[in-house]
Amino acid sequence: MMDFAYWLPIVWAVILIAAISIYVVLDGFDLGIGMLFALERHPDRRDVMVNTVAPVWDGNETWMVLGGAVLYGVFPGAYATLLPAFYLPIILMLLALIFRGVAFEFRVMTRGTAREGLWNTGFMLGSGIAAFCQGAILGGVVQGVKVVDGAFAGGALDWLTPFSIVCGLAVMCGYALLGATWLIWRTTGVLEASCRRWASRLAAGMFLAIVAVSLWTPLLHAPYLRRWTDWPNFLFVAPVPVLVGVLGLLFIMGLRRGHSKGPFLCALGWFFLCLSGLGITMWPYAVPPGLTLWDVSSPPSSQFFQLIGTAILLPIILTYTIYSYHVFRGKVTETDGYH
Amino acid sequence: MQYAHDPALLLARFQFAFTVGVHIIFPAFSIGLAAYLAVLEGLWLKTGRPVFLDLYRYWIKIFSIVFGMGVVSGLVMSYEFGTNWSIFSKKAGPITGVLLSYEVMTAFFMEAGFLGIMLFGMNKVGRKLHFAATCCVSVGTLISMTWILSSNSWMQTPRGYTIDPATGRFLPADWLAIIFNPSFPFRLVHMGLAAFLSVAFIVGATGAWHMLKARKEGKISTEPVRVMFSMAMWMAAIIAPIQILAGDAHGLNTLKYQPAKIAAMEGDWDSEGRAPELLFGIPNMKTEHTDYAVKVPLVGSLILTHSLDGKVPGMKDFPRDQRPPSPVIFFSFRIMVALGVLMALVGFWSLWLRRNSTLFTNPVFHRVALCMAPAGFIALLCGWITTEVGRQPWTVYGLLRTSDSVSPVALSSMAVSMTAFVAVYVLVFGSGMGILVRLLGRAPQEGEHNAIPADAPKILATHTHPNVIDSSSGKGA
C-alpha cells in the first residue's frame, strides 16, 4: 500500500495537469474568439467567428468541469483550500462563463432586438473576465496560499497582487492569440487577414508576458529558484526556454509565409511549454508553499477506483471528441457556416 | 464549528439552494426533452412521416437553449461544493468527488461531444449517425442523472464507508454499497419520472396553447400540434399514476431510513399508531405542536405503513437539534403531492376525451392543460426541497452536520457573491425563459425550419410577435 500511496497522487497529478492543459488550449481559443469581438465589429464576420466553435465549445468547457471534479475526488485537500482562498475570482469567473456560454444561443435568438447588443457584449466581456480570472487564480496558486491546519486561513483578497494581475493579463493575451491563430486556420478572406495582423501583435505581447512571468516566478519562493538553477536539474529544464524561442521563430515564419495551421500549432506549443514550466516549478506542491500532493490527496482506494474508470473512459472521450472536430473540419465562410 | 444561526452559514446555504434550485430545472428539462427528441427522430426514421421531423426541428431549438443554460448553471455547481462547503468536500470528497468525476467522464463529455452533431450535423453525417448522436445525448443525460442521484442518495443514506478517526474523513470501503445505497433506486426512479412528466406537461401545454390559438382564429390546428399534444397526454396518462406509486415506495424507504424527515413532512410530533393525516396545519418548532391542523383519521398510518394501525414516527422521538425544519417541508411535500394527483387526473381525463374523440376539440381541457404547464417543474422543485431540507441538519445524514461542513469564507465575500448570483441569474435565466416562451409561442410548421440558430431570427421575425423588432432595436443592433 505504501507504494500505491506514493505513486497514485503522482499519476493523478499528471492526469490533472493534462486535463487542465487540454482545457486551457481548447477553451482558450473559444475565450480568445470572444475577446476578439472587441476588434471585429462586423456582424457577419462575428457570426463566422462564433460558428467555428459553436459545435465544440460545450465539450471544451467540460474539461474544466473534469478539472474541478478530479480535484474534488482525488485531491480534496487542495479543492477545500484553493476554492475558499480564491472564492471571489472563482465566483467572478463562473458568472463570466455563464454570460459567455448562454451568449452563443442568446445573441442569435435575440437578433434584431434591443437585447442582441447585450449578449454580444456579454460574450466579449464574459470571455475576457473569465480569461483574466483564470490567469489571476493560476498566478495566485503559484505565489502561494496561507494555510493553517490544512485549511485556508488568509483574507478574501490575498490573491490580488501585482504578480497575479500580470498573470491574468498574460492569460488574456495568450487566449486572444490562440483565438486569432485558430481563426487563421479556420476562416478565409478579410477575417483571416485581420487575424494575421492581430496575431503578430498578440504574439509579441505573449512573448513579453512569458519572459516577465518566467523571471518573476523564481523570485517568489526559494525552492522555485533552486528548481531552475541547481545542477543537474538545470540540464533537464534548460530546453524549455530554448524551445520557447524556437517556437517564436517558427511562428513568425509561419505567419509571414501564409501557413494556415502553423501559427496555431506554435501558439499551442507555447502554452504547452508554459504549463510544463509551471509544473516543473511547483512540483511537488499542490498548494504552495505548504501542502504537497500527498498532503491533499484522498485515500488510495478512492484514487484507485477513479483511476480504473479514467483509464477506460479517457481514451473513449478523446476518440469521440476528435471525431466531433473531424465532422466540423475545414474553413468556415460567411455563406456556408452552419446556415 | 459554526452555529446554525450564523449568518455566513445561512448565506452559504441559501446561495447553494438558490443556484442548485435554478440549475435543477434545466437538467430535468434536458433529460425529458432529449428522450422525447430521440423518440421523435426514431419515429421519423421508422415511419418516414414528416410530422415527426417537424416536431424534432421544433423542439431541438428549445433543447439547445435549455441545454446551454444547464451547462453554465451546472459548471457553477461543480465548484460551489468547494467554495461554500470546503469542510464537507474535504471529508466526503473521497466518495462524492469520485462519483462526480464518474459523472463527468461517463455523461458530460458524451452529451457535449455529440450535442454539436445533434444541433449542427444533420447535413454532415447523415440520418442514421445523426440519430445515433441524438441517442447518445439522451443516454448521456440519463447516465448523468444516475451518478448525481447516487451521490445525493449517499448523502441521505450513507453506506459502504469507514470514518478515519484521525481526520474525520469518509473512506470508501465498498464502492457497490456506496453507489447502490438504500435510497438510490427509489430516488432515481422518482426523479427520472419527474423529469419525463415535467417535460410532458410543457409539451402538452404548448400543444394546447396552439390549439386554443387556432380555434380563436377560426382555423383547424395543424398536424404537428395535434401529434405533440397527443403524445404528451399519453405520457401524462401513463407516467403520472406510475409516479404516484413510485413516490409512495420512496416514502416507505424514507420512513425506514430517515424517520425524522417523515415526521417533519407530516407535521407529526408524537409517535402513534392509527395516526391521522394532516391536510393542513402550521408546524411550530418551538411549541412542538402543529397549529390549525386539519386531520383525516387513520389515513396517516395507512399512507405510511399501508395498514390502519401502523405506528408512525413523531418529531419528539428525536432530539431538538436533529429535527429538520418542519414548516418548510410540510408544505413543499403537500404541494408536490397535490400537483402529482392533479397531473394524474389530467392524464385520466385525456383518456376519457380520447375515447370520445374530443381530445383535440375540448377547449376547457386545453385551458386546463395550458395552466398545468409548470405543474411538473413546480412539483419537482417541491420534492427536491422536501428531500434536501428534510436531510437537515446534516449534510451526510446522521454523520456530518451542515454547520460543520461550511467553508471559512468571510460573510462579506458571501454577501457580495450572493448579490452577484441573484443579479446575474435573474438577468440571464430570466432572458432565457423569455426566449423560450417566445419560441414556444410560435406554432410548429409543416416543413419546419432546420434546427440551426442562424434561422432563428428569421423564424422569430416572421412567425412570432411582430413587436420583437421594437423601436429601440436600432440602438441594440
At A37-55, the pLDDT tens digits run 999 999 889 999 999 998 8
Q: Nearest Cα to B174, choosing from B164, B184, B160?
A: B160
Least Cα separation, residue A237 to chain B (angstroms): 33
Report the C-alpha gap between B79 and A68 in whole angstroms. 6
Q: Which residue of B has its CA nearest to A77?
A: B90
Q: Average pLDDT, stretch A122-128? A: 96
Res. A119 pLDDT band, cuts 50 70 90: very high
At B473, the pLDDT band (50, 70, 90 cuts) reads very low
- Contact at CB, B110 and A320, closer than 8 angstroms: yes
The reported pLDDT for the residue numbered B450 is: 52
Q: Return the residue in A48, A83, A328 with the most chain B beta carbons within 10 A, the one to mutate for interface testing.
A: A83
The mean pLDDT of A82-104, rounded to a whole number, is 92
> Around Cβ A312, how many Cβ atoms within 10 Å?
11
Total domains in the fold of chain A: 1
Q: Which of the residues B67, B73, B79, B436 would you substitute to probe the A interface, choosing the one with the greatest number of A C-beta atoms within 10 Å?
A: B79
Q: Span B260-288, mean pLDDT? A: 87
Backbone dihedral region for residue B48 (phi beyond 0: left; psi -120 to 50: alpha; all else: beta): left
Distance, CA of A174 to CA of A172 (rounded, Å): 5
Most A CBs within 10 Å, among B109, B163, B396, B438, to test the A interface: B109
**Distance (Å) from the alpha carbon of A307 to chain B's nearest alpha carbon:** 10
Angstrom CA distances, A189 to A48, A183, A267, A335, stand at 11, 11, 21, 12
> B116 vs A55: CB contact, 8 Å cut-off?
yes
pLDDT of residue A271: 92
Q: Taking a C-beta distance cutoff of 8 angstroms, is the pair A291, A147 a contact?
A: yes
| B279 touches B295 (CB < 8 A) | yes
Closest Cα of chain B to A235: distance in Å? 37
- Give how far B420 is from chain A: nearest CA, Å: 8
Q: What is the pLDDT of residue B475?
A: 31
Choose the mutation target among B60, B77, B89, B135 for the interface with A, i.e. most A CBs under 10 Å. Answer: B89
CB contact under 8 A, A106 and B432: yes
Nearest CA-CA distance, residue A207 and chain B, Å: 32
Residues forming beta bridges with residue B401, ordered by sequence position? B394
Give strand pairing partners of B172.
B161
For residue B431, the chain A residue with the least C-alpha distance is A106
Q: Give domain status of residue A306, yes or no.
A: yes
Return the residue matching grid coordinates 460574450.
A123
The values of phi and psi at residue B412, to 5°, are -65, -40
Task: Please state the rounded mean pLDDT for residues B58-73.
Answer: 91
For residue A22, the cross-strand partners are none
Q: Which pLDDT belongs to residue B472?
A: 33
Q: Are A138 and A67 in contact (CB under 8 A)?
A: no
Average pLDDT of span A293-306: 90
pLDDT for the residue numbered A235: 77
CA proximity to A157, closest of B412, B77, B15, B422: B412
Chain B CA closest to residue A64: B75
Within 8 A of B461 by CB-CB distance, chain A residues are: 112
What is the pLDDT, as a whole number, of residue B5? 63
Cross-chain Cβ contact A321/B109 below 8 Å:
yes
Residue B452 pLDDT more than 80? no
pLDDT, residue B449, reads: 56
Of A113-122, A327-336, B257-266, which range is least confident?
Answer: A327-336
Side-chain-side CA neighbours of B359 within 13 Å: the count stands at 23
* pLDDT attached to residue B307: 84
HSE toward the beta carbon, residue A26, CA cutoff 13 A: 21
Asked if residue B458 has pLDDT above 90, the reply is no
Beta bridge partners of B162: B171
Rounded CA separation A144/A141 (Å): 5
Residue of A nearest to B97 (CA): A73
Which of B11, B87, B108 best tests the A interface by mutation, with the highest count of A CBs <10 A?
A: B108
With beta carbons under 8 A apart, name residues in chain A contacting B408: 84, 151-153
Helix (H) or strand (E) holding B168, with range, is none
Does a structural domain hold residue A333?
Answer: no
Q: Are residues B85 and B406 in contact, defined by beta-carbon separation less than 8 angstroms?
A: yes
Residue B3, pLDDT above cutoff 60: no
The cell numbers describing B391, all together, are 436531510
Single-letter code of the amino acid located at B64: S
Q: What is the pLDDT of residue B471?
A: 31
pLDDT of A2: 58
Cβ(A52)–Cβ(A183) under 8 Å? yes
What is the C-alpha to C-alpha distance for residues B14 and B7, in angstroms, rounded to an integer? 10
Q: Tell me whether residues B89 and A79 touch, CB distance under 8 A.
A: yes
**How far is Cα B200 from Cα A181, in angstroms, rounded to an integer?**
45
* pLDDT over 70, % of chain A: 98
Which chain B positions have a beta carbon within 8 Å of A92's beta carbon? 420
In a domain, A172, yes or no: yes
CA distance A156 to B455: 46
Chain B neighbors of A99, CB-CB under 8 A: 424, 428
SS (H, E, C) chain A: CHHHHHHHHHHHHHHHHHHHHHHHHHHHHHHHHHHHCCCCCCHHHHHHHHHCCCCCHHHHHHHHHHHHHHHHHHCHHHHHHHHHHCHHHHHHHHHHHHHHHHHHHHHHHCCCCCHHHHHHHHHHHHHHHHHHHHHHHHHHHHHCCCEECCEECCCCCCCCCHHHHHHHHHHHHHHHHHHHHHHHHHCCHHHHHHHHHHHHHHHHHHHHHHHHHHHHHHHCCHHHHHHHHCCCHHHHHCHHHHHHHHHHHHHHHHHHCCCCCHHHHHHHHHHHHHHHHHHHHHCCEEECCCEEHHHHCCCHHHHHHHHHHHHHHHHHHHHHHHHHHHHCCCCCCCCCCCC
Dihedral of CA atoms B121, B123, B127, B132 in degrees, nearest 10, equals -10
Angle among Cα A297, A148, A82 to the nearest 5 degrees reads 50
Supply the angle between the helices B50-84 and B411-440 in degrees, to the nearest 10: 180
If you measure CA to CA, which chain A residue comes closest to B173? Answer: A301
Taking CB atoms and an 8 Å limit, are B169 and A299 in contact across chains? yes
Kindly report, residue by residue over B205-248, the tens digit of the pLDDT: 999 999 999 999 988 888 899 999 999 999 999 999 999 999 99
Q: Please report which confidence band the pLDDT of residue A222 belongs to, taking 50, 70 and 90 as the band edges.
A: confident
Chain A residues in contact with B143 by the CB 8 A cut-off are none
Cβ contact, residue pair B101, A306, below 8 Å: yes
Instruction: Look at B408 and A152 and tell me if their CB atoms are within 8 Å.
Output: yes
CA of B476: which chain A residue's CA is closest? Answer: A114
Under 8 Å CB pairs connecting chains A and B tally to 284
In chain A, residues with a C-beta closer than 8 Å to the C-beta of B407 are 80, 83-84, 87, 152
What residue of B is the nearest CA neighbor of A151?
B408
| Adjacent-strand bridge partners of A292 | A285
With CB atoms and an 8 Å threshold, state whether B94 touches A76.
yes
Chain B, nearest residue to A97 by Cα? B72
User: What would the mean pLDDT of B57-63 be, rounded to a whole number?
Assistant: 92
> Which sign does the torsion angle of CA A324, A326, A330, A335 carry?
negative
CB atoms within 10 A of CB B319: 8
Please say if the pLDDT value at position A1 is more than 60: no
pLDDT at residue number A337: 43
Q: For A176-187, what is the mean pLDDT?
A: 94
What's the mean pLDDT in A245-273? 91
Domain range spanning residue A239?
A: 2-327
pLDDT score, position A155: 86
pLDDT at B451: 44
Q: Which pLDDT band, with edges at 50, 70 and 90, does B133 fall under? A: very high
Contact between chains at A88 and B413 (C-beta distance less than 8 A): yes
- What is the rounded end-to-end Cα distance, in angstroms, of chain A? 57
A256: confidence class by pLDDT, cuts 50, 70, 90: confident
**Average pLDDT over all residues of chain A:** 89
d(CA B36, CA B352): 24
Contacts of A90 in chain B (CB under 8 A): 79, 83
Q: How far is B96 from chain A (nearest CA, A)?
A: 7
Q: CA-nearest residue of chain A to B416?
A: A88
Quote the CA–CA distance of A261 and A276 in Å, as a whole number.
Answer: 23
Q: Do A102 and B124 touch (CB under 8 A)?
A: no
Q: Please indicate whether, in this complex, the C-beta atoms of B101 and A324 are within 8 angstroms of each other.
A: no
Q: Do A69 and B68 touch (CB under 8 A)?
A: no
Can you tell me the mean pLDDT for A22-41?
A: 93
Residue B397, pLDDT > 70, answer yes
> pLDDT tens digits for B152-196?
999 999 999 999 888 889 999 999 999 999 999 999 999 999 999
Residue A299: is the preceding peptide bond cis (ω within 30°)?
A: no
Q: Are A58 and B472 inside 8 Å of each other by CB?
A: no
